[in-house]
Amino acid sequence: MPEKEVIIIGGGAAGLAAAVACQQKGIEDILIIERGNYLGGILNQCIHDGFGLEKFRTSLTGPEYAQRYIDQVMDKKIPFLLNSMVLNLTPQKEVMVVSRNGLQRYQAKVVILAMGCRERTRGAIGIPGTRPSGIFTAGVAQELINLKDYMVGEKIVILGSGDIGLIMARRLTLEGAEVITVAEKLPYSSGLPRNINQCLYDFDIPLLLSHTVVDIEGNGRLSGVTIAQLGKRGGIIPGSKRKIICDTLLLSVGLIPENELSREAGIVLDPITGGPQADERGQTSVSGIFACGNVLQVHDIVDNVSLEAEYIVEGVVEYLKGKLTKEREIKVELGNGLRYVVPQKLVSIKDTIFSFRVNRPGRKKTLIFEEDQRIIKKKYFLRVNPAEMLRVKLSSSELEEIKTLKVRLV
Amino acid sequence: MEREFVCIICPNSCQLKVEYEGKTIKKIAGAQCSKGEAFVKNEITNPLRVFTGSVLIENGNFSLVSVKTPSPIPKKYLKKIGEITRRIKVNAPVKIGQIVASNLLDNNIDLIATRKIEKKKSLSF
């Protein structure tokens, strides 16, 4: 069985950044395994701009952002496989790959999980009604329009106000479709405020908060949806139902980290993030298997994916040198106001970046890190929004003495 | 008059409280950087946006190439440029940054490619 020092599963934003970082740190024996027929993953269909402001200090489109990494992969001749899908990963880091050349097994010293995420579908949210064509997840519609030259419809309703749904509202409008409305179940949007402004309000597309689709009609093709307003407890407000005639429904109702392989390898997952439980190096519960990007936690912006990939590679390098030892195990406890925290545990003493999402929008909030009652660090936020990932760095000296760690938002 | 703007320059999405008269900003609060003021100035005079879209490719390894305007253009032109992109067809190969259409609407609006497209390889059996 061929041996590799580092096998990276996934050639999208996380996988590419991890590969380039590994190469820069002197790791030579790398293999990227990509399921699709090109590198860059989902960035290729994200043709809008606004990527790279943090990483490159300039506004790039998705394909341009990907190309910056692809150029480095090509330039440094980092090996990659396309049209190759990993079918199985073992806790011993055996990787089984299928491609047109048949089955191939590899033995890796380190595996970096970079499989990204996929979209929640109609089935996952259980909308009643018929089963006509014309219902797409927003990302699939994005792929069809931006890469395959297939226009999905003419009169569109979008359910869910995630960023991809908002971006698609603008994209469909510019391609000549009529976007009738965007309905959001929650009383606030799950997309970034800038996208609500430049994708909806710029084109006078109404955003209906506390609204959802309660019925789908149509035989063959979608002919209409019924939307209703939701009360404070999430129930339908009587008399609020109304029918909208449309031929297309896009769903932008959340992303799920794609962790089937992780599960097979026996990796412990976090039920909230849907990604592996990780320590401060991005190492999962299985020694030598690391995770970064949307497979670990769904990110808001791609720059954070790249930064996370580069950050976990520091741990990969130490692991390969045999210097990554478990010095302690502290579970990071989650207090009020926060939906999740990554990493979920600390096993060493190291400068650590913590990522969070808040439960609901708020103003003038303080994030508190504490050991029992002793405050270790505070960070103030003028505004917090579940659409945005918060990232806070704690230094090794701040984390050195602690026996427990709790984070909460007040 | 007083109005709230959401700055779209970066993901921070700063909420800006702005007091202005005609085209002059009198007071601005809430911007985390200096770009906020420049953004508002444009919003109250001539709102600008980068157009992004795609055009058809002939003989390429993909059927579309993504494009953008190299700089922001007046917002009112976005839909018109969208219509135009549906009629443009360019030949592969295309490099990132290559101009695929120029001086659209007689307004000096160019479109440049944002993805590398190679020539389609002929099938060999």
Please give the share of chain B, as a percent, with pLDDT higher than 90.
Answer: 66
Does residue B125 register a pLDDT over 60? Answer: no
In chain B, where the domains are located:
2-45, 52-113
pTM for the model:
0.94
Pairing relationship of beta strands A94-99 and A85-89 according to DSSP bridges = antiparallel
Is residue A136 domain-shared with residue A245, that is, in the same domain? Answer: yes
- Residue A339 three-state SS: strand
Yes or no, beta carbons of B116 and A67 under 8 Å apart:
yes
Is residue A246 domain-shared with residue A259, that is, in the same domain? Answer: no
Q: Which domain holds residue A386?
A: 326-410
Is residue A130 domain-shared with residue A219, that is, in the same domain? Answer: yes
Is residue A175 domain-shared with residue A291, that is, in the same domain? Answer: no
Residues of B in contact with A40 (CB under 8 A): none
Residues of B in contact with A47 (CB under 8 A): 52-54, 66, 68, 114-115
- Residue B114 three-state SS: coil
Which segment of A143-152, B6-15, B58-67 scores lowest on mean pLDDT? Answer: B6-15
What's A268's domain CATH number? 3.50.50.60
Q: Is the dihedral of CA B90, B96, B101, B104 positive or negative?
A: positive
Residue count (chain A): 410
Which of A262-291 are b and which e, b meaning 16 or more Cβ less than 10 Å from the residue's Cβ?
Answer: beebebebbeebbbbbbbbbbbbbbebbbb
Residue with token string 């996988």:
A15
Is residue A299 domain-shared with residue A331, that is, in the same domain? Answer: no
Provide the phi-psi class of A40: left if phi over 0, else alpha when psi is between -120 and 50, else beta.
left
- What pLDDT sits at residue A325? 84
- What pLDDT sits at residue A180? 98
Q: DSSP readout, A196-249? A: IIIIIGGGT--EEETEEEEEEE-SSB--EEEEEEB-TTSPBPTT--EEEE-SEE
How far is residue B16's CA from residue B10's CA, in Å, rounded to a whole number? Answer: 13
How far is residue A116's CA from residue A294's CA, in Å, rounded to a whole number? Answer: 4
Yes or no, beta carbons of A146 and B66 under 8 Å apart:
yes
- Per the structure block, which two tokens stand in for B39? 């953004």
Yes or no, beta carbons of B10 and A193 under 8 Å apart:
no
Residues of B in contact with A44 (CB under 8 A): 115
By CB neighbour count within 10 A (0-12 exposed, 13-18 middle, 19+ buried), where does B95 fall? exposed
- Per the structure block, which two tokens stand in for A117? 């995420």
**Per CB distance under 8 Å, which residues of B are interface residues toward A?**
6-11, 13, 15, 49-54, 56, 62-64, 66, 68, 75, 78-79, 81-83, 85-86, 96, 114-116
Is the CB of A383 inside 8 Å of chain B's CB atoms? yes
- What pLDDT sits at residue A353? 94
Q: DSSP readout, B45-91? A: H--EE--EEEEEEESBSSSEEEEE-SS-EEGGGHHHHHHHHTT-EEE
Omega before A343 within 30 of 0, i.e. cis:
yes
What's the start-to-end Cα distance of chain A, in Å? Answer: 54
Q: In which band, very low, low, confident or very high, does the pLDDT at B124 lie, cut at 50, 70 and 90?
A: low
Domain count, chain A: 3
What 8-state DSSP symbol labels residue B122? P
Is residue A261 domain-shared with residue A247, that is, in the same domain? Answer: no
Is residue A381 domain-shared with residue A300, that is, in the same domain? Answer: no
Is the CB of A61 inside 8 Å of chain B's CB atoms? yes
Yes or no, beta carbons of B52 and A47 under 8 Å apart:
yes
Helices and strands (DSSP H and E) totals, chain A: 9, 27
Residues of A in contact with B66 (CB under 8 A): 47, 61-63, 146
Yes or no, beta carbons of A147 and B10 under 8 Å apart:
no
What 8-state DSSP symbol labels residue A294? G
Omega before A79 within 30 of 0, i.e. cis:
no
- What pLDDT sits at residue B34? 87
Q: Determine contact, residues B120/B59, Cβ cutoff 8 Å.
A: yes
- What pLDDT sits at residue B12? 79
Yes or no, beta carbons of A173 and B79 under 8 Å apart:
yes
Helices and strands (DSSP H and E) totals, chain B: 2, 10
- What pLDDT sits at residue B77? 97
Chain A, nearest residue to B57 by Cα: A149
Does residue B121 register a pLDDT over 90? Answer: no
- What pLDDT sits at residue A204? 97
- What pLDDT sits at residue B32? 86
Q: Determine contact, residues A399/A346, Cβ cutoff 8 Å.
A: yes
Average pLDDT of chain B to the nearest whole number: 92
- Per-residue pLDDT of chain A (410 residues), as tens digits, is 999 999 999 999 999 999 999 999 999 999 999 999 999 999 999 999 999 999 999 999 999 999 999 999 999 999 999 999 999 999 999 999 999 999 999 999 999 999 999 999 998 998 999 999 999 999 999 999 999 999 999 999 999 999 999 999 999 999 999 999 999 999 999 898 889 999 999 999 999 999 999 999 999 999 999 999 999 998 999 999 999 999 999 999 999 999 999 999 999 999 999 999 999 999 999 999 999 999 999 999 999 999 999 999 999 999 999 998 888 999 999 999 999 999 999 999 999 999 999 999 999 999 999 999 899 999 999 889 998 999 999 999 999 999 999 999 99
How far is residue A227's CA from residue A158's CA, in Å, rounded to a whole number? Answer: 11
* CATH class label, B52-113: alpha beta
Q: How far is A72 from chain B (nearest CA, A)?
A: 15
Is residue A281 domain-shared with residue A346, that is, in the same domain? Answer: no
Is residue A242 domain-shared with residue A126, that is, in the same domain? Answer: yes
- What pLDDT sits at residue B64? 96
- Per the structure block, which two tokens stand in for A340? 């999740």
User: Residue type at A246?
Assistant: C
How far is residue A316's CA from residue A143's CA, in Å, rounded to a whole number? Answer: 33
Chain B, nearest residue to A148 by Cα: B63
Q: Is the dihedral of CA A325, A326, A327, A330 positive or negative?
A: positive
Q: How far is B83 from chain A (nearest CA, A)?
A: 7
